Every structure is written in structure tokens, then in C-alpha cells.
Copies of this chain bind each other. A is one copy, B any other.
Amino acid sequence: MHVAEVNHRLVASPVLRQLSVRSVMERLLLDGATSRASLSRATGLSKQTISEVMLVLTERGWVKESGMISGGVGRTAVRYEIDATAGFALGLDLGASTLRGVLADISGTVVAQHELAADGQGGQLPAQAKRLKQILLDAAKAPAERLQVATVATPGVMSPQGRLDLAPNLPGIGELDLAGQLRSALDCQVMFENDVNAAALGEYWEAGENADNHFAFVSIGTGVGLGILVDGQLLRGSSLAAGEIGYLPLGGDPFAPESLEQGALETSIGATGIVQRHQRLGGTAQTVRAIFDALEAGDRIAEETINETARIAALLVLTVTSVIDPDRVVFGGNIGGRPELVRRIGEWMPRVQKRPIRVEASRLGPRATVLGAAAMSLGQMHNSLFSTLEVPGRLGLPTLRQ
């Protein structure tokens, strides 16, 4: 089978066949390896159609035979499964101190992960990304041509001009044509996403079948951020600013000039805010990590600091549940992922909200963002390969005439 064949999209196929291919691939992705007969039952398509579709898919290299199914009554069935090596999706997390990467194959299996210490200057970034990509491809023995999509998770916002704005932790990066340079360095379709949104998607993906499709992820670290999933889709907002919660009027006077600059909530429960609170209470710690260490050692001031932080975070949970009513709120980030903090947030909740709400700590920790980036690539790969068709789910409303 030639690589050219593998890369060939199913664009030319007519509408009906595309729909059939799509439902078959969806079943294979969700259920794993199966026979044609059970695919026919699962999709409602006739056995005949399934056979035709599988013929096309094996010729194209997306699907391969994988042994037989025997043991039950009746004839043994030929088992088909997605050829996991047919396409790969890359996720990158562009952090302040590390550059993380994850490579997933088309079936959703993570086949390689690695991280590099970030060089001080942003100018090195595209070259580093290229190196990381190659390391991951080599580790997975994946040919470079089969890398279909990469997603780069970044702090701040990627401007339409391809420059990274509002990312003070990555000095000097705003001057680069980051999008263009990464596109040529990675040599495939490249997408960009906010790191908190990516982390939200990562946690959602990790939860797997238990995932409710309505989900909120709060990141507390140097700054604060919120990622929202509605019906399994990221909610980005009309100016891509959904989840920019630093300015929420919680934990400080929102009308104070510094709140307008830095944001009341961020000032209150961001890393520097927590350290300042500790110092106001008489503590001497210089970092949040030191405060958590003191907390573990039984220090009263640290206890009070974290408890007050949790109190304000509980108001944040109240705010999020009041507005979008997620099934649960997951906390992550350097600070937000701390179980000591999350437990205290949960303890505050009954005092501000009658309805119980699940408040949990991130299960993926620092890997949430990079896995979410890989998930975005994976979703994009599937949809561009098997879903070129534009079928809007619902009709829009006609113009109102009254």
C-alpha cells in the first residue's frame, strides 16, 4: 500500500457513500474491532453495503483485517479494525518552562510522549517543536508523512495575524510569526488553542465513557482560567474570550483600579495573590509551593491562607454552576490541582449553594493540556478524513415577520 493512497481523502465519494463510510468508521472507532455482520446490525446498513464500504476502506488503508472471531454458534467471522498506523495526531503544550508533546494514532491510542526543557528565548521554539515532533515520530516508528494534524496549546490568544498575544510568561514571543513558523516547522495542518481550553478537553477525554458532555475545568496557577465543554464541544465565545475569568468580581473590589488592570479574581487567587495573602496574615513564604509545604507541616497561617483561597474558589464554582450548570467542575493547574485545596473548596460549597455539585481535582495533572491538544488534532483528523460533508444538525429559524 502506498503512502499516497493512505493520504488520499474520501472527498470525491458521493454523498450517500460518505455517510455510510462515516457511520462505519464511527462504530469502529468507538467499539473497536468487529465483523462486517455486526457492523451491519450496528449501523442499520445492509451487509452488502458494509462489504462494499470495507473494501474501499481497506484499499485506502484506513482499515485492515485482524484475524477471525470464533467460539459462538455459526460460521467464523472476519474481524476488521482500524489500521492504527494509517494516521497520527500531534499535540503540543507550549509552557513557560517545558515543551510537552504527545503523539496519538488514529484509534486514539497515545503512542509516544516526551518533553523538552524550554529554551529561554521564544525564537528557538519552532526548531524545538520540530525536534520534538521527530523524537515522537521516531519513538512510535511513524513515518512523517502520516502525521495529519498538530495542535499547539498556548497561553494567551493567537491573533488572526498568527502572533501570540497576552502571554507574559513567554517573553519575546509576541514578535514572532509563530503560526507561520510552526506551520512550516511541523509540516502538516496546524491548529492553535488556548491552554486552558485544551486542558479542559484533555480532562474530558480522559473521563472517557463516563464523561458527561457538559463540563467545566478551572485552572489556577500563575493566572486563572476556565474551559467549558457544551455537548462535548469547546465553548469559545464570540471573541474567543469565553473562560477569561481573571476579571470576575470575586475576592476583591472589582471597581478598584488594579482590578481593572489585573483582574479581581486573578489578584485574589492567582499565585502572587495567594503569596500576598499569606504575607498579610503574617507568613513569610515566597512561593505557593512553600505555603502548601507549611500547610502539610500543620502551619496555622498556611491553613488560613489556603482556606481563604478555597472560600473564594467556592464562589467561583457557584458562579460557573449558576451560569452554565455543568455536571461537574474539575480543578487543575499548578495550584488548582492540589487535592488539599480542592477538598476545602468542596467543604465550602454547601454554605453557598444548596444543590450539590461535584468538585474534583484534575486526574491528568500537568499532562491535561498536551493530551487535550492531541485530542483536538485527533478530532480534526477524523472529521476532515471522514466527514467532509456539511450536514447541519438542525435547521435555522426563518426570519421573523410580524
Contacts and interface: CB of A to CB of B under 8 A. Distances in A.
Interface of A: 15-16, 19, 22, 25-26, 29-30, 107-110, 205-206, 208-209, 212, 214, 226, 228, 230, 232-233, 235-250, 254-255, 259-260, 315, 318-327, 351-355, 371, 375, 378-379, 382-383, 386-387, 391-402
Of A379, A387, A401, which is in contact with the most chain B CB atoms at under 10 Å from its CB?
A401
A113 to B, nearest CB: 8
Complex copy number for this chain? 2
A292 B260 CA distance: 31
A13 B315 CA distance: 53
Of A247, A352, A382, A397, which is in contact with the most chain B CB atoms at under 10 Å from its CB?
A397
Contact of A351 (B22, B206, B260): B260
Contact of A237 (B30, B318, B326): B326
Contacts of A214: 237-238
Contact of A108 (B238, B319, B398): B398
B226 A323 contact: yes
A192 to B, nearest CB: 17
Nearest to A321: B241
A228 B326 CA distance: 14
A390 B291 CA distance: 53
Contact of A399 (B209, B250, B260, B355): B209
A125 B399 CA distance: 31
A105 to B, nearest CB: 9
B230 A230 contact: yes
Nearest to A242: B325
Contact of A319 (B237, B319, B353): B319
A15 B26 contact: no
A395 B29 contact: yes
A225 to B, nearest CB: 11
Contact of A239 (B209, B325, B394): B325
A396 B29 CA distance: 9
Nearest to A385: B395
Contacts of A107: 398, 401
B242 A400 contact: no
9 contacts: A22-B395, A109-B402, A209-B399, A237-B326, A247-B322, A248-B319, A249-B318, A260-B352, A386-B395
Contact of A325 (B26, B244, B395): B244
Nearest to A109: B401
Given A30-B398, A108-B400, A400-B108, A324 B322 contact: no
Contacts of A327: 238-239
B208 A400 contact: yes
Given A242-B324, A323-B242, A19 B379 contact: no
A205 B400 contact: yes
